[in-house]
């Protein structure tokens, strides 16, 4: 059995990046934190932390950190089931990972009713839809929206539907950069707008449809869904925008062939509290209506 105080000390150091700060947070001395971490390393036979500034986890430390995060979420769900709330609070906590476009379009309306009725507090982690699954695997969230269809061990994956993306631009931008048409040569010179360095949608479409690698054209990085859309509306560049956002703008679709459908799945742990079960039901029902 893992020692609770030793594990708490390890987690505190990882999250604080320092033995001294961790000691302050746990109201003990720095030497006590050091002894507890050393005892945990001795019990496991592995070095867990590199004593640097800030402290860094070894591979064994990362594996333990993932495990302990999962345990914390399972304990949270268990408390919800037994007591109906946590720490004498009337609210329930749910950690969810989703991509920015989902959050900016349909996700919050899907949860509005159940959040208000069940008094759920959301802790939302935003990442690319191909990477949110890793947060669930690491035990950092209770559920996630992901493009992966295969659930990990101990989880379920439910198909939600797909988001269709169009390559779009403003009328003024088209007049300036694409007056000779949308083809390989004009795309070489026109500035694109890309969400972030993990976003490969734009690169995949231009490579597939026009044979242009990412190094062949200029682009902006704008890692905010709302600002990304606004930048395209302002004529700063062209980009891949969800259909759910395009329909409320004056943006023009550049090419019917430059369209991409991204499937979405709702992943969650098999063991869920009542509140998370209700949240899952609302997400799945709403998404399957909106996305299909």
Domain boundary among 69, 89, 109: 89
**What is the predicted pLDDT for the residue at 177?**
97
* Average pLDDT, integer, range 137-163: 90
- Residues 96, 69 share a domain: no
Q: What percent of the chain has pLDDT over 90?
A: 56
Instruction: Spell out the residues 6+ positions from residue 289 whose beta carbon is closer than 8 angstroms to its own.
Output: none
If you average pLDDT over residues 46-62, what whole number do you get?
Answer: 88
Mean pLDDT in residue range 135-152: 88
- Cα-Cα-Cα-Cα dihedral sign, residues 134, 137, 141, 143: positive
Quick one: pLDDT band at residue 86, thresholds 50, 70, 90?
low
pTM of the model: 0.71
Task: Note the pLDDT of residue 81.
Answer: 53
Closest of 2, 142, 151 to residue 75, by C-alpha = 142
Tell whether 201 and 247 lie within a shared domain. yes
Residues 238 and 273 in one domain: yes
Average pLDDT, rounded, for the chain: 89
pLDDT over 90 (residue 198)? no
32 and 5 within one domain: yes
d(Cα 100, Cα 194) in Å, to the nearest integer?
13
Q: Are residues 249 and 171 in the same domain?
A: yes
32 phi and psi angles, rounded to 5 deg: -65, -40
Same-domain pairing of 155 and 259:
yes
Number of domains in the chain: 2
Identify the pLDDT of residue 90.
Answer: 77
Of 210, 260, 242, the residue nearest 99 (C-alpha): 242
Among residues 113, 110, 158, which one has the least CA distance to residue 263? Answer: 158
What pLDDT score does 77 carry? Answer: 64
CATH number at residue 67: 1.10.10.10
Same domain as 111, residue 68: no
Q: Are 228 and 239 in contact (CB under 8 A)?
A: yes
Strand-pair partners of 126: 98
pLDDT-based confidence at residue 148 (cuts at 50, 70, 90): very high
> Domain end: 64, 89, 114, which one?
89
Reported as a single tens digit per residue, the pLDDT across 271-286 is: 778 888 999 999 999 9
In the prediction, which pLDDT does 83 show? 46
Residues 6 or more apart whose CB falls under 8 angstroms from that of 155 comprise 136, 267, 268, 269, 270
Q: Residue 17 belongs to what domain range? A: 1-89
Q: Could you give the percent of the chain with pLDDT greater than 70?
A: 95
- For residues 111 and 39, membership in a common domain is answered with no
End-to-end CA, the chain: 48
Q: Among the listed ranges 79-88, 205-214, 247-256, which one has the minimum average pLDDT value?
A: 79-88
166 & 268 share domain? yes
Q: What is the largest CA-CA distance in the chain?
A: 71
Average pLDDT over residues 128-147: 85
User: Using CA atoms, how far apart are residues 184 and 232, in angstroms rounded to an integer?
Assistant: 20
> What pLDDT does residue 138 have?
77
The arithmetic mean of pLDDT across residues 83-91, rounded, is 60
Q: Residue 243 has what pLDDT?
A: 93
Residue 87 has pLDDT above 60, yes or no: no
Q: What is the pLDDT of residue 128?
A: 84
216 and 119 in a single domain? The answer is: yes
Looking at the structure, tell me whether residues 23 and 77 fall in a common domain.
yes
Q: What is the pLDDT of residues 210-239, one digit of tens each?
A: 999 989 999 999 998 889 999 999 999 999
Residue among 87, 119, 136 at smallest CA distance from 278: 119
pLDDT digits (tens, 9 = 90+) for 168-195: 999 999 999 999 999 999 999 999 999 9
CATH number at residue 182: 3.40.190.290
What integer pLDDT is reported at residue 267 of this predicted model?
95
Same domain, 125 and 178: yes
> Which of 89, 113, 143 is the endpoint of a domain?
89
In which element (H, E) is residue 27 found? none
């Amino acid at each position: 059995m893992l020692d609770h105080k030793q594990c708490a000390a390890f987690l505190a150091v990882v999250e604080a990046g320092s033995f001294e700060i961790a000691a302050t947070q746990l109201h003990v001395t720095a030497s006590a934190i050091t002894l507890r971490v050393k005892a945990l390393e001795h019990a496991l036979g592995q070095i867990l932390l590199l004593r640097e500034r800030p402290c860094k986890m070894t591979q064994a430390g990362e594996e333990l950190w993932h495990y302990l995060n999962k345990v914390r979420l399972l304990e949270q769900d268990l408390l919800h089931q037994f007591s109906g709330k946590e720490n004498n609070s009337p609210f329930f906590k749910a950690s969810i990972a989703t991509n920015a476009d989902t959050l900016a379009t349909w996700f919050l309306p899907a949860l509005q009713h159940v959040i208000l009725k069940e008094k759920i507090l959301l802790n939302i982690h935003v990442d690319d839809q191909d990477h949110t699954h890793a947060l669930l695997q690491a035990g950092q969230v209770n559920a996630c929206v992901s493009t992966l269809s295969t659930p990990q061990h101990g989880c379920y994956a439910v198909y939600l539907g797909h988001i269709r993306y169009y390559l779009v631009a403003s009328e003024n931008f088209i007049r300036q950069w694409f007056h000779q048409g949308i083809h390989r040569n004009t795309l070489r010179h026109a500035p694109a707008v890309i969400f972030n360095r993990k976003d490969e949608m734009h690169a995949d479409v231009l490579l597939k449809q026009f044979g242009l690698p990412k190094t062949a054209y200029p682009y902006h990085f704008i890692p905010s869904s709302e600002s990304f859309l606004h930048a395209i509306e302002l004529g700063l560049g062209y980009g891949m925008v969800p259909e759910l956002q395009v329909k409320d703008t004056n943006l023009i679709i550049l090419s019917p062939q430059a369209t991409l459908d991204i499937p979405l799945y709702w992943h969650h742990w098999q063991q869920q509290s009542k509140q998370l079960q209700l949240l899952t039901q609302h997400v799945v029902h709403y998404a399957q209506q909106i996305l299909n």
